[in-house]
Homo-oligomer: A and B are copies of this chain.
């Protein structure tokens, strides 16, 4: 595939579900709409709290469908429930602010090139990778500097 081109993907979650052959229902629309409106990374439990009119099981199921469809990313969080964020770029990595938890997305061809060059160092065949960069985001930096 092309090396430096970041492919931006549609972010219509309800369509992503329908493309999986799933029916458009009130519950799924509510979940999709909510995720699109928050714009930040979230946990399944947060979503349940935000949508008391939708059952927990359905919230969890819908999230799983969206991850399967590639429309959501699931981020493992040590010491806590995984977080989800909308997948805007085909292949990417995440920045996570250690202070506020804000999740960002980035893609850089150097990372991908590095993977290929690492192939000789590694004992086996590379089938994928994951990378997270922990940051203090600009917001948290400025709120620390500027005082309160």
Which of the segments A23-31, A39-47, A124-132 contacts the partner chain?
A: A124-132
The reply to whether B135 and A108 contact each other, CB–CB distance below 8 Å, is no
Stoichiometry, copies per complex: 2
Chain A, 115-148, contact with B by CB distance < 8 Å: what is the 0/1 string? 1011001111111111111111110110000000
A104 at the interface (CB under 8 A from B): yes
The reply to whether A132 and B129 contact each other, CB–CB distance below 8 Å, is yes
Partner of A133 from B95, B126, B133, B134 at Cβ < 8 Å: B126
A74 at the interface (CB under 8 A from B): yes
Chain A residues proximal to chain B, CB less than 8 Å? 74, 76-78, 82, 95, 97-98, 104, 106, 108, 110-111, 114-115, 117-118, 121-138, 140-141
